[in-house]
Amino acid sequence: MSETYTTIIGLEVHVQLATDSKLFCGCSTRFGAEPNTQTCPVCIGMPGTLPVMNRRAFELALRTAVALDCEIPAFTKWDRKQYYYPDLPKNYQISQYDLPMSQHGHLDIRDPKGAFATKRVRILRAHLEEDAGKSLHDEVAGKGDSLIDLNRTGTPLLEIVTEPDLRSPLEAKTFLSELKLLLTYIGVSDCNMQEGSLRVDANINLHIPASSTDPPRPGCPSDQGKHTIATPIVEIKNMNSFRAVERALEYEAGRLWHEWQETHRKLGEVPKLTRGWDDVAGVTRGQRSKEESSDYRYFPDPDLAPVTVSPAEVELVRGSLGELPAALRARLQDGFALSSYDADVLINQGQAVVVYFLEVAESAGDAKAAANWVTQDVLRVLKETNTTLDSLGLPAARLAELIRQIKLGDVPGPRAREVFQAMIERRVDVAAALESLGIAAVDESELIALASKLLAANPKTISDVRAGKAQAVGALIGQAKKQNPNIDPTRFREICLQLIETAL
C-alpha cells in the first residue's frame, strides 16, 4: 500500500456553563433531581411565555471566549433552530446562527511525549444555546417505553467549534484535555462528562493524494495546487470520554480508508453522514444523513433582544482571567526549571495546588525539592485521606521549613518522611514534630564518637577499607543506625573513611 492519507478532524464541544439557573428562565440546573421537577412554563414551551436571558450565563460564555482569544463582536443575537424531536418541547432550540457571540479564536496544544509538534488549533466560533431534554428508554423492563425528562431543557450551553485543524485522534484527545483544563481553571464549567457537562461530536474525513488519472476536484479544501481527493465527512456522536473520542476517530479513519479502497474513484456526491460510537463493540454505526443548516430554517428569535458588548467590558473580563494554564506551564518550566512532566502533574491538579507549590518553592528556595514533596507526598496524602489542601493541616510555609531543615542537616534525611507525616497528623511545625518523634539532630562530634567506637570494635572493616574495599563501611552504617536512628548515613560514611585515612 503505497498511498498515504491525511486525517482531517474538527470538533464540536458542548459545554454546560456553571450557572445556578437555566438560560431563559429561573429553573434550577442542579444535576440528579427527580425527572421533570425543575421545569416551568417557559422551559417546557407553553404558548404565551417569554424567555429572559440569564446574564450570568452570558458572562461565563464571554469569559470563555476571551480566554480562547476569540474576537467578540459588539452585537450578537439569538436565532431559532427548528427541528422536531420529542425532547424539544418548543420544536425549536434557541441558539445563535449568523452572528455568534464570539469567533476566530485559538487554543495551543502540545504533547508532553513529543508525538506531535506544538500546534495552534483555531476556534471557528463559540456560541450560546439552550440544551434539550433527555429521552429515557426503558430497556430494562423490556417494554421499549420511552419517557422524557425535561429538567435539562433550557440549561445554558456554550458550543465551541474548531476549524478542521486536528490531524490525528491523539491531537483531538489532547485538544479536549487542554480545553477542559482551561475551562475548569477559569471556573466556567465543571466539565463533568458523566453528568453531561461536556459533550463532544467529532467530524472526520481523509484527504487522499489522487493519481494522475483521477478527475480534478476543484473546491476540495486541501487541493491547493496538489491533486487531492476528500472522502465524505462523517460526524461521530455518542462518545462518553476523551479516550472514547480517540478510539472512535481511530476506528473511523480506518473504516473510511477501507471504504475508499472498496469504492475507489466511484465516490460521486455522498452526503455528510452521522455515525454513533459503540464503546463496548469498539465500532461506529451509521445513524442518518447529516442535516444541512438550511434544513433547520433558522430565523432571528423575535422574543429576545440582541446583546451588545462594549470593548471596555471585554477588557474587564480579560483582566479578571488570571494566569491561564499555558502561561502557568511556561512559568513552571522556564522560571522554576521543572520538567514538563512535573509541571503537568501540578497544573492538572488545579490552581490551588499550583499556588501551594509556588509558595513552598519560593519560601524553601528549592523548586525541585518543592515539586518532589508536593507531587509525591502531598498529593499522595490528599488522595489517601480524600481531603483538600485547605484541610490538610500543612501550610506551605511549614513544608518549606521542612525542606530547608533537611538541607541544613537539622532533620535527618532518612527520617524526613516520618517528620512530614507527624507534621500532618499532629498539625504541628517541624520542631514539634521532631520532638514528638524523639528525633534530635545528631551533631558532628556525636557522629565522630560513634564512628570511632564502631571502628575500634571492627578492625576487619579497617583492613578491608585499606585493602581498597571502601564498601566494607556499609556494615558499620547498619550498626550505627541501630544505636542512633537519627544519624545521616552519608555523613557517617564520610566520617568513617576520614578516620581510617587519618589513622594511617
Contact residues for Zn ion (CB under 5 A)? 25, 27, 40, 42-43
131 near Mn ion, rule: CB under 5 A: no
Residue number, 42 or 236, with CB nearest to Zn ion: 42
Residue number, 40 or 477, with CB nearest to Zn ion: 40
Residue number, 159 or 235, with CB nearest to Mn ion: 159
Q: Is 111 left (phi over 0), alpha (psi -120 to 50) or beta?
A: beta
- Residues 71/118, Cβ–Cβ less than 8 Å: no
Residue number, 145 or 291, with CB nearest to Mn ion: 291
| HEC profile of 299-338 | EECCCCCCEECCHHHHHHHHHHCCCCHHHHHHHHHHHCCC
Could you tell which of Mn ion, Zn ion, none binds residue 182, using a CB distance below 5 to 8 A set by kind?
none
| SS3 of residue 231 by DSSP | coil
Tell me the residue ranges of DSSP E strands in 210-314. Answer: 228-230, 234-239, 273-278, 283-289, 299-300, 307-308
Q: For the CB of residue 29, give the shortest distance to Zn ion in the complex, in Å.
A: 10
- The alpha carbon of residue 297 and the mean position of all alpha carbons in its chain are separated, in whole angstroms, by 37
* DSSP line for 28-76: B--TTPPTTSS--TTTTT-TT------HHHHHHHHHHHHHTT-B--SEE
From the list 157-165, 319-327, 349-357, 398-406, the region that binds Mn ion by CB under 5 A is 157-165
**Which residue is closest to Mn ion by CB?**
159
Could you tell which of Zn ion, Mn ion, none binds residue 27, using a CB distance below 5 to 8 A set by kind?
Zn ion
CA distance 20 to 28: 6
Q: What is the DSSP letter of 188?
A: S
246 near Mn ion, rule: CB under 5 A: no
Could you tell which of Mn ion, Zn ion, none binds residue 148, using a CB distance below 5 to 8 A set by kind?
none
- Residues 352/389, Cβ–Cβ less than 8 Å: yes
Could you tell which of Zn ion, Mn ion, none binds residue 159, using a CB distance below 5 to 8 A set by kind?
Mn ion
Residue number, 42 or 354, with CB nearest to Zn ion: 42
Among 159, 171, 235, 401, binds Mn ion (CB under 5 A): 159
Backbone angles phi, psi at 142, to 5 degrees: 75, 10
Residue number, 129 or 171, with CB nearest to Mn ion: 129
165 near Mn ion, rule: CB under 5 A: no
Q: What is the footprint of Mn ion within residues 306-325 (CB under 5 A)?
A: none
From the list 159-167, 204-212, 308-316, 435-443, the region that binds Mn ion by CB under 5 A is 159-167
Residue number, 42 or 66, with CB nearest to Zn ion: 42
Binding residues (CB under 5 A) for Mn ion: these are 159
